[in-house]
Structures are given as structure tokens and as C-alpha cells.
Structure 1
Amino acid sequence: MEAAEAVEKVGKWLRAVHGPEVSGPGGLRVDHDRVLRVPEGWSIPYNTVAFLDDGRPDKELFPAPSVLVREPDGELRQAHPHPGGLSTPVAYPGQESWREVVDPEYAKAGLGELGVPLPAVAGWVKVDNDGHQTGDERENPEYKAGPIRRGYPKPENPLETLLAFASVGWLSREQLLIGLLRCEVFVPFDLKTGATDRFYFSEERNELRVFSSTRHLPAREHAWWRVDLATLAEFEHPPNLVINGGPATFEDVAGAELTAIAKRFPRQEPRVDENGRCPEIEEDLEKFAVETAARIGLDKPVDVPKAAAERARRHGFELTADECRKTVLGRSWLRRFEQPEPSRSRPNDLRANGLVPSWDNDGRIVPKLDTFGKYPEVSLENFRYGWQRVVGAWVGFALGEALGSAVDRMRLDEIVSTYGPDGVRDLPLAFDQPGRIGSMTQRLLFLTEAVIRSPHREQPESRDVEKLFPGVVRGALGRWLHTQGAAIQNADGFLVKVPELHARRAIDDAELNAYHALVTGDPQAAPMSGPAALLGALPAVLTAAGPGTGFSGGIGQVVRDLAGVTHQPDDVAAATYLAWVFEKALTKDSFSYPVWNLSREVLDEHDGPEWGPVRDLVAEAVPFFGEHGLPDLRMPELIGDGHSTLSVLGRSFAALSGFENYPEQAMLRAVNHSGRSALTGALTGALLGARVGVPGLPRKWVEQLELHHLIEQVATDALWHFDRHSARNALGDAWVQRYPRH
């Protein structure tokens, strides 16, 4: 379509809307001098005749309205008055019309210049000639759920947003290329040579590897060249690009195709072309290390935290400038504590000084370096699982229970009556203050201790040793009962010595007595029923963390031994299925798939009639985002009764599915329903934490969570124990004292 044809279409629309007199002295006309080719087609601005022809600024329409003429269909759309806003179909007087309902992910992305793709339109609502909705709606069968709703990695900048939208079919290749011209990338840069390493630029292929953010730079890189893609397209020989857009997101772009698009749609943004340092090697940080050493009495300063930053990147995170300063501060204090002469002062606020509490073998608090949930202090191989996912799952479990404890076993109408129409919206007061851990988190810690204390780790080929594990589990539960006031003999190990665990939390005498009878081998004790069996899933998974560290019967055998000590077979089967889901969710890979995918993948691998109830549960509770059309998000309140094992599991899946990138909303969905809100919240938090790690959980809640550093410590200990280079070998007798064998 030529510009003249587009102008004529807009002229006809102006006459239809404003009458034939529109072209008169008091009317409107197209501003021919500002007609512009845009990605969506033609931009045809218009203004008053008095302003355009008579030069009267008082008659100017500002901002100047514009109509877009789409290509190739010629549809007329009213341009948004602000950059990045979405155009809308023009209206004709006296006519009803259908208004687009655009997916919020796209509507909020600021990519209006690329148009409104049909797959991003969820449907249409009918409006009358006064602009009021009539109540009629149409669903778009070509609609595709957006990448954020599907659980893809959440974009952190415009480049990652473009790549994500293209990956789900929201953008054409041309739209993607146009958008890329407005983006900037990072390239590893050598400050000494002032050049990019040959590893990232191949002269032979004229190929340049670029990254969407400094967070995704290779771990060993600490400096960067930041450049916009329009500048690269202007090179004499524009490089072919391999774009790393974050976890599991890559895009190849030929230099020639980018240059061709740049000629059609010239740059509008200022040029970006600069070099810089990552926070861990900023010159001010070295100065800060020197000043800190002098202030607290060190003979020499600690090094800048390059190694810490590298570990954080290997686990998918990046240290901020503030975290780098705290790392310097924390390491300085730890070195000062090692010196023989006493320090003139000690930090009262550990967190403010780069330190956090840890617990020694006697259950006493000792300061250790704060790693912000982004990397482990010890060097772990991560043979099968990612450390950040393991600690995220354990902390997420505790956080979810803390969120749901105040409303546990309440009906939804009671929750609404107590907390308002939206239910719980923040960490509520539970026990005596917000953020207190509950009894299930206590048990999770002791069950995790049980898998560490299992003798099979040292004798992996012995089936007879595996048979001892149920006794180890009983011992762990006995130590938990000891913290609840039961008279249990030989309560050894460090965990039982932590004073804060000696607290009674939301468990009644009848339940404690039932556990006591089963743990002590009372012949009259019958197995319990209920969803608490699901607690065994997480500890069981860790036994398979390293090569050859698991049981002969796999994770399923460990779950049966962990949960079977106290619960009946049907509940244990559900826990086994959940363990298989966690086995995939805790992956060491850079991307952990969302639960709507994993829950079905596990069933594909474990087919059989015995899994029929679980299969029915997944179909009921988990939407499927792999099809066209609107996804049917599930309400946790509608999944079962909220008390049975499968219902609790289903409600946790329903709460999280489609909300993996909305952590706070997912966790609130998990507790605002009738029934076992605390356990549903805990399971949702664990699945969420496995995806996003501790830094991805709601920060304001994590900071209030009681003993969250102890929880991280126990989870790390368990992963380290089953690592190829086990803590048992590294620490020897100190480890055995911490986790005695039976």
C-alpha cells in the first residue's frame, strides 16, 4: 500500500466521523508532512486546518492525533497518544463495535509500535455507539497464553521481553527484528586489552555472542561493552549475532537482516556504546575494603568478591553493588574474628555487616558470611540438583506454612470474615508474631536430618544397611518429639540442640500422641492418614543428588521409608508422585519447567492404573497452556475438600499453575481457601522456591521468616552430604558429631 492510498482512507474516515464540512476552515485534515511508515503500516497524523494552514498555535490538537493504516488489510486504528501504547480500532458514529481485550502481558510491555498481534488478543467485547459494553463477548480461538503466564523465565528488560513474546508466537520475525533495533546488549570486555575476547567474536564467521544483561554474562567475566543493536547494524560488516536472552533463551540474528530492517526503520533512540565494570570489581570497592580493614584493625584488606560474584552467576544470580560491599564487610569481620587479639568492637547487626547466623555442632549461633541466597559458601558440584533450587524449596516450604498457619483449617467464609474480602494479604500474626515457622517445617528439618544420618551413604551397595533407614526416621521424629516436650532418650546431633526449635506450634496432643506411639513402636498404633505424608517428598529427593548416592529402589523407596513410618500406603503413593515432581523441579539446569508441565511429564513416565487417581487430580487441578485459546485457571477452593492428601496436593498445583512468575499472588492463592491452608501454602512455596530460589520469593516475607538461615543451612548440609565430594569426607569427625550415625 502506498502512502497516498493510506491518506485517502483516513480522509474518508474523517469525513464519516465529522461530516463533509471537516475539510473546511474550521475542520480537520491530514498533516501530509508528517505521514510516516511505521512497523504497523502507515501513521497518518491529522490536526485542525487552522493550525496546519493558518499557523494558529492556539488551535493545535496536542498531542497530535494519528490514525494507523495497517498493512496489508488496510484496517484503521487510532494511535495511542503516548509512545509504547497500543492502537485501537477506530470507531464510526452510530455504530456498535467490538473492542479488543489484549493480554495484559503485551499491553504493559510498551511495544505498541509493533502493533497488536492477533495471538495476543484474548477476545473482544461489544460496545454500543456510546462506548458502553453491551455484555456480548467473543473469544479469540487464535489466542495464545503469554510467556509469563506459561511460566517461562520472567523478562527483565525489553530485549528479553521481545525474545519471550517471539517464542510463543506473539511476534513475527519482522516485528522481532524491528524491536531488536531499539534494544541494547552486553558483550564481555577485557579492560586490559580494550577488546572482546576471541571466544565471543569469531572473525571467520563474523559472529558475535551477546547477552541481554550482565546477570547472564559467563561467570568468569567482570567487565562489559554495552551497545545498542542499531549501532551494530551500522557497522561496515554488521556481525551475525547469537543472542543469549537468559535461561533457555537464544536467538540467532544475521547481520544482513538486521541492517535491512534498520534501513526501513531508522533509529529514533540515542546511540549506546560504552564500557563498564560489574559491581564486584568497581574501583570504589577496593577503596572500601582498604578503609574497612583500617577501621576494624586488619593488617591488610580482603580481596574484592570476584569469586563470590562468579558463584552467584553460576547459580543464575548477580550480586548487586550493595551485596558486594556487604561481602567485603562480612569477610573483613570474619578475618578479624580469627585474629588472636580481641576486636575493639563487634557488629551488633549481623545483616548490616554482611553476616548472618549459623549454628555450630552444639546448637549455638556463630556468624557466617551472608551469601544472600545466591550461592553456597562451600563448593558444590551440583551433580543433579541446583543448590539455589534446593534452599529455595526448603525456605519456600517454611514461608508457605508461616503464611497459612493463621488460617489453617478455617473455612473460606471464615477467612473472609476475619481478614476481609481478599482474605490474607500479608504474613499474618501466627502463634505470637508473623513469620513463625510451624510444626511441619520443624518435622521437615528433622526428616532432612534423617536422610543425612542414614548409613547408606557410606555403604551404597549394602541392601542390609538400607533396611536400617526406617529406624533412622523414627529416631529423627523422636528428636522432634523431644523438642515438643516428649521424654526421648539419646536425642543427639546438633539440630535438637537449637533452642528455637523447642517450641510447640499448631499441633495438638492427640497428633503428638499418635506420632509418639508410631515412633516408639507401640503395637496398638495404627498408621495415620492425611496429607502430612507429603512432607517426606523433599528429603527423599536429596538422596539422589549425587552419583550412586540413592537407594537401590530409587526415590520411591526412600519416600516409602520416610512417610511409611507414620502414614498409610495411599498417602505414601501421593508423596512418591510429589517426590518425582520435585526431582525434576530441583534440576541443576538454568531453567526449571513450570508445574503445569512437570506434573504431566511425571505421569507420562510412570504410567499404570495405580496412578489413575493422581492423573484425574492433575486433569482437574492443572490448566494446560500448550494450546490455543484462553487457559482455564483453576481456583484452589474448587479442588476437592481441602483436607485429603490428593486435595491438598491438587490445591497447591492449582494455586501455582499460571502464577509461577507472580510469587506473592501464587502463595496467597495457596492459603486463601478452606481446609489445610498451611500445608497447601508450604507445598506451593516449596515448588515456587525450587523455580526461583530464595531471592525470587517475596523478600519482605523472607526477611520476617523465623530461622530461615537455619533452614538454608540444613538444606545445604543435605545437598553437600550427597554431593560427589561429600561433607563427610571434607569434615570427618566434625560431620559425624553434627549428624551421628546409627
Structure 2
Amino acid sequence: MTRDDAVQRARAWIAEQHGELSLHVRLDDVALIGGDWYVPYDDPADPIFPTPAVEVPDDGGPLRRYAPRDPQWRTGIPADWPAPTADGVFFDPEWDHERFGHLGVPTRAVLGWLREGTTDQYRRNPDHTPGPMWLGGPLPLTPADRVLDYYGSGWLDTPQLVAGVLDVEVWLPIDHETGMRSRPGPDGDSWLPAFSSVLRCPWPVDEWRTMALREALEMVAEHPAGAVGVRVNWGDRQPAELRTSLIEKFAQYPERGPRPPVTRWPRPEGLFAEVRNAEAAGVVVREEDMVALREAKAWVAGGRSGPRPAGAQAYWDSEGGRYWDVPTRGIIGPTTPELHRWQSVVGAYVGFAIGEVFLVKHDGSLTGALLHSTDRLVREAHDWSSAVTAAGLPRRPAGWLDRWVTGGPRIAETVGLLGAVASPARALIGTFWVDGVSPVFDALLRRGAGGTAQALAASGAHPEILALRDQDEVALADQVAALGTPWEQALLITSKLAHDPGRAISAAKDPVAIMGVCALIGARFGLAGFPVPWIEAVPNRDLIECLATTAFHTFDPDLIPRPDRPLPHPGLPPVTDGMRAAARQNPGGWIYCADPDVDPRYIDGMPLPVLLGGYAVAPDGTLSGETWVNDAYKPSPRRRGLPGPQNEFEAVLNLVAAEWLPYEAALRAALDTDFLVGTAPGGGIAILQAPDGRNVLPVYSSPKYVPAGPEPQRTPLRALLPLLRDVTVVVNPGGIIGIDLPGDALLATTT
């Protein structure tokens, strides 16, 4: 039956049932649903509510009046749903019904309903939407945080927001010079700024005042100073704006109890920078932290004389010796570089240790392996990049760590975490980059990353976990048990229970999964994700933070070599007595200056790319003062930060990359080099097909470029020439320095 046939039959039925009235079919809403044509009709002049409709069976059966179906009740309430309220409502776990129940039942925060008179039948709410933390939002610290986050995620409409926020305490910033002052909003009106907690403020604050938002509105009305109201959480995507005209409607929103006292919160004397540093990273500095900071700062300022205060923190110098200084406590750290958040890096390291030592009661050897691996990779980074050493970052001697902690077996979770921290050097770290682990940590450690689910989406890793996240028909415990690895279990648990770190930890049963959950929680929330006694129970906590911090600084993207990074001209070298003597031998000429990195074993003469420039010589053999700076100069491999060569081929490859040697030099050098070559599963050389259709042979110039997998064979490239026609030799694929060598070009080089 066609749509027109269904409409024609429906019109006949309407005339038969209602007579020749002014009823018309709503043609735009006609649809085939489940084998029946749904045909609604109405009176345009006098609309009928609810809109009637007729069902026209597609198989030609008798027509019938449309009647809405009863809600579909299911049996077997999802195991992970919270208990229903007395009214039979299943709320999303993020909804704080005890605190905000007076706002009614926000439809989008409802998972479903319990069928009256039953204990196991329920109906889902099709209008439910995820809560703020499920969407990757921050951990709420105050009731105001919660209600503003509910509003931002769409759970509350504006009247509900007003009813929920009027009587919660907000934070008003005070400037020591101007006091509380209004700011112009995007609409041109002036607003008094307020925040749901100190962490939601995007600018430095000298002092805070807290009061109920209702009282703040009254204050603005009494002392307007041009402000039209209060704007809460100024930097949010959807700030809440409440105008003073709302005061006229306060009777509709009666106060729900005594107002909180108006309180001034001056910045702690001498700790402004530290406190602001922590808050900018999303961490609140507790009173006990400030006490420890004050005591340690006074002790250090006094030359470290007298007993060491309990709050001083241990650090390790470049020789591996321990010393004590002002604590950072995992919360007060650097705000740069911008790639990763320092608090997240420390949180992930310490979180793993909490899982291993405090919760699993293991011996700490897995955490020890993480620290030893970190120390090793940091030392290697000094070899890759002179910028790391020039930055003054510690390169502790091999073996220093054995005095403090014992290493143990390396597992994918710890290796992958280190690989994520070192992700700016991914091309150099080899097997420390663990597919499926490192990409998730790398995304989660970045500033503003959200939670595990958002990191999975950003990295593209483990799409099956995201699919499981949205299913609640199967209990989380059963989903976890069906997963193949502890890491997958940790990912699913933290992606589903982002709103409740404590519950996430208790949901993990496998020991490695527990450690993974704790590392992921630490990566998202920093140490704020854990109870203080857990943190303090971790042995070697200061050492863990020290090495995590060293890795954080060492793998600053600005210190890691990148061949494509533009570099400024270094300028001409200063004039020396030797240059003056050379000038006397060359009157009227030039004294040319080459880059001091030129190695005559590889560079013949002084080609233009190696020349810095020159000094003009006067006719009397003295330097005239005229100079020439060579715009065609190319920085040397060392200046570019390329890794030091391990063999003759890598030395030539670096010079080709620096454009000091022509491409053909790499062809000639490759023919005299033994490369590490992968083997096919059945034996023989592994010639692969690239996505662009080329036949390629991956080879590696030294072990540091070899990825994880079967042991490669060291093979002279010249011996492979018979196999290389129409094959491209790809040297160090994925490495920081590599080159493509067409087999036909290699063959031509031998003739």
C-alpha cells in the first residue's frame, strides 16, 4: 500500500466516523510505523487535543482508531541503577536528590520509573541525558558547583536553576585596590562576578567573600554601581545570569533555612603564588598544606638550621642525593608546558602506587619498575637532546635509584603511562609507547581533557569500551568479568563511574585493574581524587613525585628535537686573532665563517648551507667592519636537536636531513650499511604493501628505532638489492629521523 492509498482510506474512515466535518489529515505527519500507516487528523479552525489519528494496516486490514500504547514496562531493574525514591523514581547517580529534591523531578536527570505495586518492573525515561561528570566535567566541590553543573548539562531549566541557586553559598572576588567591582558582560551590561567555588574563577583573586547568592543580589540592588545583577561562573560556556529584578519575585522562592554567614577569606600571607598556582590547576590547597608550606619556607629561608619541619619534602639532586625543601605535595607545581597537566602526571604515578601498595597490598615492585624505567628514559633524553641538558634538568647517574627503591617487572600499564608522559618524544621512545594504553593516558593527562570516556574518544583507542559504557542492561560487574585484560576493565570502570571515584575503585577486583583504575583517577583528578590517608600511606611518595616531575619537565615539547622546527640564524662568531691574521693574508677579500659543527670527513670544502657568513677585508689587510650573514645557511644536525648518530649511516642521514649533504649521499651510505630488517612470518624478508599501494621494506639503522615485535635480522642492504626493484626501502619508519630510498635509485647507484 502506498502512502496516498493509506491517506485515501483514512479520509473515507474519518468521514464515516465523524461525518462531513472540517477535519483534515495532517499530511506532514503521516508515517508507516510497525506495519501500520499512522494518519493523524485535526480541525485547523479548532485544534483537538490530544490529536486524534487512525491506523491503516499496510496489509489492507480493517482500519482502527489510534490509541497510545501503555508505557513499555520491563522486568529486571538494571543492577547498576540506584535505589528508587519513595515515589518510584530512579534518578541518575549524579543527581543529589537529598540536597536538591525541592526542585522537583528534573526529567532529564531521571533514568526511569518503578511500576507501582511491583519491585522488579520499570520503564526507561527516553528523555534522560547524561550528567555533567559523565560528559567530562570537573569534580564538584560545593552545592553551588553541583547546581550550576546541572544547569550547564541541561538537567535544570531556568526557574529550577533560580530555585536551586538562590540559597547556596557563592564566592565573590575582591580586588585589594578596587574591592568588589562589576565587569562588563558580552551583552554590554555590567555584572557583579561570582563563582560556585574558587576553582571556577579564571583570573587571580586577592581575597574572597562568601555569601548566599540571594544576599549578593540584594547587595547589588542596594549598591548598584552600574551592575544589573550577578553573573555566576564567568568563564563557563553557560554562566548563570541573575538580574536584580528577580528580587521582586523572591516570594516565589522562599528561603530554605538560615542564610550562611558572610565570610571574608583573605589570601594566606606569603602563599599567594602557591595557592593561585594550585587553584589554576583545579586543586584546592587545604589548611594543613598551607601550614606545611609556611613552616618549610621559614626553615629554608633560615638556612635550614634547626630541626627539619615535618612538612618539608624530599627531593633528589642531579647526583641522586636526597635533600629537603619546600613541599609541592602533588598540588603546587609548574603551570607549563601546556601539553600535560603536572598535577595529572603526579596523580597518575601516585595513583598507581596507591592501587598497588595501599589497596592490593603488593610489595611495590611494579611502582619501582615505573620509577626505574622513568629514570632510564630521562637519561636517554639527555642523549637525544642537548636542549634537555642545557635547561639544567637533572641527569642522575645510572644506579642511583637502587639505593632508594627496588625495581620489578614492567607491565603494560606502567610502561604505557611513562610513554604517554614522554609522548612529545614518541618517535624516539620505542617500546615505551604502548598502543591502547599510552594514547589514553596521553589524552587524559592533557589540560581540560575530561574523563576516561573523553580520552578514549579523542585517542580512538578501545572503541568497544565506549560501546559498553552506554549499555546498562548488563551489570557492570558482569561486563568487567567478560573483558579480556585488566586494562580494559579499568577503562570501562572509570568511564562508567566517573562521578564516583570511590565506587570506581571498589568495582575493580583484579589487582592490576585496581592499579589501573587508581592511575586513571589520578590522571583525571590529580591527588584530589584520593582520600588523604591513602596518599600518606604510600611509601616513597616524595620519590615518586620527584621522578614524575623530572619526566614532566624532561619531555617538555620545546626541549624535544624536531627536525622541522625553524631555527634562528646563530650569527657570526666573534673576531679572533686568527681571523685577523688570515685577513692580513687576504687584502681586499673575505674571511668566511663556517659552522663549527662541520666535519671534514663528510663535508668537502665549504658548501653554502654550512657557511654562517663572513667579514670583509680592507685593501690594507684589516677587517673593514662590513659583514655578510648567509641567508642560505642551514642549521647543523646538533643545532636542530637531532639524536647523536650511532653509526656512519646515521651521521650521513643527519647531514642529509640538515641539507648539508645531497640526497644521493644517503643512497651511497645505505649501500655500505647493515640494517636491522624485519622478517616475514614464514621466514625471509618482510616486504609490505603501504596504504598508497607501494611495496615497502621497513629497515632500522639502530636498535632504538625498532618497534616492539619479533627480533629483526641485521642484514647488509647491498645483499638485498636483487629484491628491491619496484620496492621502497623505508628507513626508521615512525622515527624522528628517517628517509625513503627507492630500490630503483639504489640499483642505479651501483652502476
What interval of TM-score do these two structures reach, taking the shorter chain for normalisation?
A: 0.5 to 0.7
Q: Secondary structure at the match of 2:120?
A: strand
1:421 matched to which residue of 2? none
1:442 matched to which residue of 2? 368
- Contact kept, 8 Å, 1:186 with 1:214, in 2: the verdict is yes
Instruction: Output one character per residue of 1:363-406: Cα deviation in whole Å (capped at 9) or x when no partner.
Output: 44322222221112xx5523211111111111112222335xxx
1:697 matched to which residue of 2? 530
* AA in 1 matched with 2:416: A
Structure with the higher fraction of residues in helix conformation: 1
- Contact kept, 8 Å, 2:182 with 2:190, in 1: the verdict is no
Q: What does residue range 158-557 of structure 1 map to in structure 2 within 5 Å?
A: 158-191=143-176, 193=178, 195-197=179-181, 205-218=189-202, 220-234=204-218, 235=221, 239-244=228-233, 250-255=238-243, 258-259=246-247, 261-270=249-258, 274=262, 276-278=264-266, 280-281=268-269, 304-338=270-304, 343=305, 345-347=306-308, 350=309, 353-376=310-333, 379-403=334-358, 427-431=359-363, 437-438=364-365, 440-455=366-381, 459=385, 493=397, 496-502=400-406, 532-544=411-423, 550-551=424-425, 555=426, 557=427
Question: 1:162 Cα deviation (Å)?
Answer: 1.0
- CA 1:578–1:156: 2 relative to 1, 3 Å: same
Question: 1:245 Cα deviation (Å)?
Answer: 7.9
* AA in 2 matched with 1:712: E
- CA 1:667–1:204: 2 relative to 1, 3 Å: closer
Name the CA distance, whole Å, in 2 between partners of 1:244 and 1:110. Answer: 20
Instruction: Output one character per residue of 1:568-605: Cα deviation in whole Å (capped at 9) or x when no partner.
Output: xxxx7xx223222222211123xx312123213322xx
- CA 1:705–1:109: 2 relative to 1, 3 Å: same
Name the CA distance, whole Å, in 2 between partners of 1:459 and 1:213. Answer: 42
1:562 paired to 2:562: no
Name the CA distance, whole Å, in 2 between partners of 1:667 and 1:711. Answer: 21
Q: Secondary structure at the match of 1:381?
A: coil
- Contact kept, 8 Å, 1:540 with 1:558, in 2: the verdict is no
- CA 1:267–1:364: 2 relative to 1, 3 Å: same
Name the CA distance, whole Å, in 2 between partners of 1:682 and 1:428. Answer: 8
* Unaligned ranges ≥5, structure 2: 1-83, 388-394, 562-643, 647-751
Q: Secondary structure at the match of 1:138?
A: strand
Instruction: Output one character per residue of 1:30-76: Cα deviation in whole Å (capped at 9) or x when no partner.
Output: xxxxxxxxxxxxxxxxxxxxxxxxxxxxxxxxxxxxxxxxxxxxxxx
Moved more, 651-660 or 269-278: 269-278
Instruction: Output one character per residue of 1:492-531: Cα deviation in whole Å (capped at 9) or x when no partner.
Output: 716634423236x5x5xxxxxxxxxxxxxxxxxxxxxxx9
- Contact kept, 8 Å, 2:230 with 2:241, in 1: the verdict is yes
Name the CA distance, whole Å, in 2 between partners of 1:655 and 1:331. Answer: 41
* AA in 2 matched with 1:173: T
Question: 1:354 Cα deviation (Å)?
Answer: 2.0
- Contact kept, 8 Å, 1:163 with 1:249, in 2: the verdict is no
Question: 1:104 Cα deviation (Å)?
Answer: 4.4
2:436 matched to which residue of 1? 577
Superposition CA RMSD, Å:
3.8
- CA 1:726–1:277: 2 relative to 1, 3 Å: farther
Instruction: Output one character per residue of 1:705-727: Cα deviation in whole Å (capped at 9) or x when no partner.
Output: 11121111111111122337869
- CA 1:716–1:199: 2 relative to 1, 3 Å: farther
Question: 1:443 Cα deviation (Å)?
Answer: 2.2
Name the CA distance, whole Å, in 2 between partners of 1:270 and 1:492. Answer: 59
TM superposition score normalised by structure 2: 0.56
Name the CA distance, whole Å, in 1 between partners of 2:332 and 2:372. Answer: 24
- Contact kept, 8 Å, 2:477 with 2:507, in 1: the verdict is no
Name the CA distance, whole Å, in 2 between partners of 1:502 and 1:160. Answer: 43
Q: What percent of counterpart residues are identical?
A: 23
Name the CA distance, whole Å, in 1 between partners of 2:262 and 2:529. Answer: 30
2:459 matched to which residue of 1? 602
Q: Secondary structure at the match of 1:501?
A: coil
Name the CA distance, whole Å, in 2 between partners of 1:202 and 1:126. Answer: 48
Question: 1:181 Cα deviation (Å)?
Answer: 1.5
Q: How many residues align?
A: 470
Name the CA distance, whole Å, in 2 between partners of 1:138 and 1:446. Answer: 53
- Contact kept, 8 Å, 2:103 with 2:160, in 1: the verdict is yes
- CA 1:636–1:708: 2 relative to 1, 3 Å: farther
- Contact kept, 8 Å, 2:355 with 2:518, in 1: the verdict is yes
Name the CA distance, whole Å, in 2 between partners of 1:576 and 1:221. Answer: 42
Name the CA distance, whole Å, in 1 between partners of 2:370 and 2:475. Answer: 33
Name the CA distance, whole Å, in 2 between partners of 1:443 and 1:688. Answer: 20
Q: Secondary structure at the match of 1:371?
A: coil
* AA in 2 matched with 1:400: G
TM superposition score normalised by structure 1: 0.56
Name the CA distance, whole Å, in 1 between partners of 2:215 and 2:466. Answer: 50
Question: 1:649 Cα deviation (Å)?
Answer: 2.4
Q: With CA pairs under 8 Å and 6+ residues apart, which has the higher RCO, 1 or 2?
A: 1
Q: Secondary structure at the match of 1:280?
A: coil
- CA 1:88–1:220: 2 relative to 1, 3 Å: same
2:470 matched to which residue of 1? 624
Name the CA distance, whole Å, in 1 between partners of 2:479 and 2:307. Answer: 49
Q: What does residue range 727-738 of structure 1 map to in structure 2 within 5 Å?
A: none
Pick one of 500, 505, 510 that aligns with 1:662.
500
Question: 1:536 Cα deviation (Å)?
Answer: 2.9
Name the CA distance, whole Å, in 2 between partners of 1:648 and 1:275. Answer: 48
- CA 1:656–1:455: 2 relative to 1, 3 Å: closer
Q: Secondary structure at the match of 2:232?
A: strand
- CA 1:623–1:502: 2 relative to 1, 3 Å: closer
Q: Highest CA radius of gyration, 1 or 2? A: 2
Name the CA distance, whole Å, in 1 between partners of 2:440 and 2:353. Answer: 19
